[in-house]
A and B are shown apart, each in its own frame.
Chain A
Amino acid sequence: MTDAKPPRLTLETLRALRVIANSRDGVAGSQIAKIAKLSSGTLYPILFRLERAGWLTSRWETELPQALGRPRRRIYSITGKGVANMRPVTDELASLERLQWT
């Protein structure tokens, strides 16, 4: 399932990664899109790529759809590999975002 090649680290990828890393119990795709301000078309290819690379893991919500009254969400969490790869570029991301807003 995991790719040997590391995924490209774009600004969008880092934003999505940061949202996932900041959540304690994992976060669903719709929440990542909302917090990171990414469209679904940008977000999901990133999530698929990161999951294939082994930087993220995902699981279904534990409750059944019948009990929830809606389809189950897929919850994404960051792995140790993801944290290790993300750390060196986190500061760079912060400076890039400062640049965008100033």
Chain B
Amino acid sequence: MDLMATAISGASALVVALTASEISVSGARWADRLLRHALKLTPAGERERRQEEWAAHLNDIPGPMGKIHCALGFVKAAYVTLFGPALPALARLLFIAAKNPKATWRIYLALRNWRIVAAKGREFGWNIPKCVFDLTWAEFREYAEHQDDPRWHEYDTAAFAQRVANLSSTDRVLMAFLGVCAARIKPTKVFPNIPAHWDEIALKIDAKCFPGPRRTSRAASTSPRGPERRG
């Protein structure tokens, strides 16, 4: 029992140490990335000013964790500034929804059954995380699908490799897993350490995300988008 406790505490210490070292190495870079994200949400006319002002603020914060926390605050500030004027309207909408539960339920069901058909008849349903992944990798996916080969294109791989070359090991693993859901690039060329059964994993994810029979004709890609009832 004592041996077990020692092993668990040792493993925990190792995990904590690895996490701390990862944060200390890439903390400033993450803060910079968050700052850039916040700036994207800022109106173009004010972007230059905010960039310098926030960079100066980040410069005054000691430690990688403090910098990340501060940069997260900038993202929050950007969102609040962007959507702040809409918040009273949202509150009003919630109030109306609470007063009319039947109508709200009907609207919810209509949204729930909203079918969005993308290229090649792929359906994007209520699976929000998947939509986020696909949006994240839209640039790769669009090009790959244009080539009629959703798994591989040399340019995409080169661009992808360029991006991942500057990331830490944890990021690379995460990015690789995100890549499965969208771009279908040949990851074995980019990451030599990725398992050889990558295609199997991708197929499994395909089966999970797109359970219906897949339409492959070009005509399917031009199918009308918008609210449709599922049959």
Contact = CB atoms under 8 A, between A and B. Distances in A.
B77 A44 contact: yes
B60 A30 contact: yes
Given A29-B57, A30-B57, A41-B72, A72 B52 contact: yes
Interface string B70-92: 10111111001100100000000
B41 interface: no
Interface residues of A, number: 20
B: contact size bracket: 20 to 34
Given A30-B60, A44-B74, A73 B81 contact: no
B53 A74 contact: yes
In the complex, which of the residues B55, B60, B76 has the most CB atoms of chain A within 10 Å of its own CB atom? Answer: B60
Interface string A26-48: 00111101000001111111001
Nearest to A69: B59
B44 interface: no
Contact of A72 (B56, B74, B75, B80): B56
A40 B53 contact: no
Contact of A41 (B49, B53, B59, B74): B74
Interface in A43-101: 43-45, 48, 60, 65, 70-74
Contacts of A28: 56-57, 60
Contact of B80 (A41, A65, A71, A74): A41
Contact of B70 (A40, A45, A70, A71): A40
Contacts of A65: 52
Given A71-B52, A72-B52, A74-B49, A40 B80 contact: no
Interface in B58-74: 59-61, 69-70, 72-74
Contacts of A40: 54, 57, 70, 73-74, 76-77
- Closest 4 interchain pairs by CB? A40-B73, A41-B76, A41-B73, A44-B77
Given A29-B56, A45-B81, A71-B53, 15 more contacts: A29-B53, A30-B57, A31-B60, A41-B74, A41-B75, A41-B80, A42-B73, A43-B77, A44-B73, A44-B81, A48-B81, A71-B52, A71-B56, A73-B56, A74-B53
